[in-house]
């Protein structure tokens, strides 16, 4: 029996998803649980698996298609079964996984020589040197480009009509390094790599030409040619998530008046507390004491998340969304704490809802769960929205201080750097080392002034430096 596979709804706020990559083709046999296709929301990437075993008998959409949720994407069944009843509205494929005739016709656009198609790869075609003195046909634009950049046309493959060299062919030779300096011109054996910039042949190299005619010289040329034959670069398609990140970050910097304040925090007490917790757990005291903090010892980032969730109650303008055009700032009564997480798919910001009502151990556990779900691609998109403030940590990368970028329409973002050793004077005037960490707070200066920003950092610093006493409350 034919079984249609629909585009899943990942969260109540998701209306459509983009097909990122197909893992099967029409006619493939799949087992239940096999990956069928990858799809993206504007927040995360997911893999859809086969709900049953059988043959893929129809595919209705192509990669990059934006497909409404709950719409049929493909059909699994047996060869020869009828699948046309499952064709969804707006399908761009004909059930064979190929673009429909209408779509294919629209894609067939002839590119004239005057508007040449862009080069899609840096790897030049196999080059057959043109015999010296041969009259190789070349377009005027290609000739001008070659003269301007001193490209050796004898090492240029022709891909234009009737064996004609066109501009993209010359660009490929330029990328491959088949050039000479202006002084050397082209009076040398085709394909010789010189001592100039990017292998350009210089006048001095012309005197060495006889040396390159022996076996050793030929081997050298072959070795260099094989290196130049490798692609110089690779164009990687942007994912939908990366496009959203780029757009959000650009809008953030364009639309806000961002200011960053950096404050050094003494980490002596916090690090001592974590060491004590680790020693108690190692000694098997976790069960005897029954402390939640000993089950999963909080990270440094967890302590900061906890501290931020508490200090925000005194600074409502920091736990807010700013709407300049609408003419108001929205203060939130609860703290919905965004936690920046680096993933293979890009930066994600899952949200710990009502963080101000949760204990340190609860925040630690939820942050860990959300991070794992983000990194595996299994997070619900509903957990990636609704944040009122964001905390981002670059400390694990060894970054001491940085300028975090605000996630609009939030009014600020808290950045955590790495702990380093600093020098200070003790009470007796002697110099001593102590562990310090920089707190980087970026504010939207339209909504928050410098004075309250400094007060916020001071309050957060005091909580962290006295965290052992604060947790006793």
Number of H helices, E strands in the chain: 13, 18
Confidence of residue 194 (pLDDT cuts 50, 70, 90): low
189 pLDDT exceeds 70?
no
3-state DSSP of 180-245 = ECCCCCCCCCCCCCCCCHHHCECHHHHCCHHHHHCHHHHHHHHHHHHHHCCCCCCCCCCCHHHHHH
* pTM metric for this prediction: 0.62
For residues 339 and 362, what is the distance between their CA atoms, to the nearest angstrom?
A: 14
Task: Answer with the residue of higher pLDDT: 458 or 119.
Answer: 458
In angstroms, how far is the first alpha carbon of the chain from the final one? 63
Q: Whose CA is closest to 371, among 393, 403, 398?
A: 393
Q: Is the pLDDT of residue 131 over 70?
A: no
- CA dist 459 and 473 (Å) reads 16
Q: What average pLDDT does this structure show over 129-156?
A: 69
What is the chain's alpha carbon radius of gyration, rounded to the nearest angstrom? 31
Residue 459: is it exposed, middle or buried by C-beta count within 10 angstroms (0-12/13-18/19+)?
A: middle
3-state helix, strand, coil in the chain (%, to 5): 35, 25, 40
Would strands 45-49 and 35-40 be described as parallel, antiparallel, or unpaired?
antiparallel
Q: What is the pLDDT of residue 267?
A: 96
pLDDT, residue 9, reads 86
Share of the chain above pLDDT 90, in %: 47
Q: Say yes or no to pLDDT of 201 above 90.
A: no
Q: Is the pLDDT of residue 413 over 50?
A: yes
* Contact criterion met (CB below 8 Å) for 249 and 390: no
DSSP 8-state class, residue 15: -
If you average pLDDT over residues 247-276, what whole number do you get? 93
Please determine, for residue 42, whether its predicted confidence score (pLDDT) is greater than 80. no
Give the model confidence (pLDDT) of 312-346 as tens digits. Answer: 989 999 999 999 999 999 999 999 999 999 988 78
Mean pLDDT of the chain: 82
Q: What three-state secondary structure class fits 69? A: coil
* Structural domains of the chain in order of their starting residue, each with its CATH number: 3-107 (2.40.50.100), 140-228 (no CATH), 241-470 (3.30.559.10)
8 Å CB contact between 36 and 59 = no
150: left (phi over 0), alpha (psi -120 to 50) or beta: left
Question: Which among 366, 442, 440 has a CA at the least distance from the CA of 407?
Answer: 442
The CA distance from 116 to 352, in Å, is 52
- Say which residue, 90 or 273, is predicted with more confidence: 273
Q: For CA atoms 112, 113, 115, 116, give the dihedral sign.
A: positive
């Amino acid at each position: 029996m034919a079984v249609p596979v629909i585009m899943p709804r990942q969260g109540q706020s998701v209306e459509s998803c983009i097909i990122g990559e197909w893992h099967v083709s029409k006619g493939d046999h799949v087992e239940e649980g096999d990956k069928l296709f990858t799809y993206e929301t504007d927040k995360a990437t997911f893999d859809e698996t086969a709900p049953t075993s059988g043959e893929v008998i129809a595919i209705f959409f192509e990669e990059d298609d934006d497909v409404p949720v709950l719409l049929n994407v493909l059909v699994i069944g047996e060869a020869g079964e009828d699948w046309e009843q499952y064709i969804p509205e707006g399908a761009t494929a004909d059930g064979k996984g190929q673009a429909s005739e209408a779509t294919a016709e629209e894609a067939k656009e002839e590119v004239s020589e005057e508007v040449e198609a862009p080069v899609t790869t840096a790897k030049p075609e196999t080059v057959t040197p043109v015999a010296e003195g041969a009259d190789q046909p070349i377009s005027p634009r290609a000739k001008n480009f070659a003269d301007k950049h001193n490209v050796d046309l004898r090492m240029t493959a022709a891909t234009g009509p009737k064996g004609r060299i066109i501009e993209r062919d010359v660009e490929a030779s330029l990328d491959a390094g088949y050039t000479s300096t202006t002084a050397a011109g082209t009076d040398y054996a085709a394909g010789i790599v010189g001592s100039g910039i990017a292998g350009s042949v210089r006048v001095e190299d012309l005197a060495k030409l006889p040396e390159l005619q022996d076996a050793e010289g030929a081997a050298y040329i072959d070795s260099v040619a094989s290196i130049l034959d490798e692609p110089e670069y690779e164009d990687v398609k942007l994912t939908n998530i990366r496009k959203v990140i780029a757009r959000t970050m650009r809008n953030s910097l364009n639309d806000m008046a961002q200011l960053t304040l950096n404050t050094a925090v003494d980490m002596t007490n916090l690090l001592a507390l974590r060491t004590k917790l680790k020693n108690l757990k190692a000694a098997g005291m976790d069960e005897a004491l029954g402390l939640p903090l000993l089950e999963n010892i909080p990270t440094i980032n967890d302590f900061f998340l906890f501290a931020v969730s508490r200090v925000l109650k005194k600074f409502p303008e920091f736990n807010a969304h700013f709407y300049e055009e609408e003419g108001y700032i929205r203060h939130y009564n609860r703290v919905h704490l965004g936690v920046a997480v680096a993933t293979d798919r890009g930066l994600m910001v899952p949200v710990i809802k009502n963080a101000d009502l949760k204990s340190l151990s609860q925040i630690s556990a939820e942050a860990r769960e959300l991070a794992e779900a983000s990194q595996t691609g299994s997070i619900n998109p509903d957990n990636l929205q609704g944040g009122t403030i964001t905390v981002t940590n670059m400390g694990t990368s060894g970054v001491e201080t940085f300028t975090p970028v605000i996630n609009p329409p939030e009014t600020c973002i808290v950045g955590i750097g790495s702990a380093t050793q600093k020098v200070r004077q003790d009470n007796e005037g002697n110099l001593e080392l102590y562990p310090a960490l920089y707190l980087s707070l970026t504010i939207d200066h339209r909504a928050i002034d410098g004075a309250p920003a400094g007060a916020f950092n001071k309050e957060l610093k005091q909580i962290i430096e006295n965290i052992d006493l604060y947790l006793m409350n």
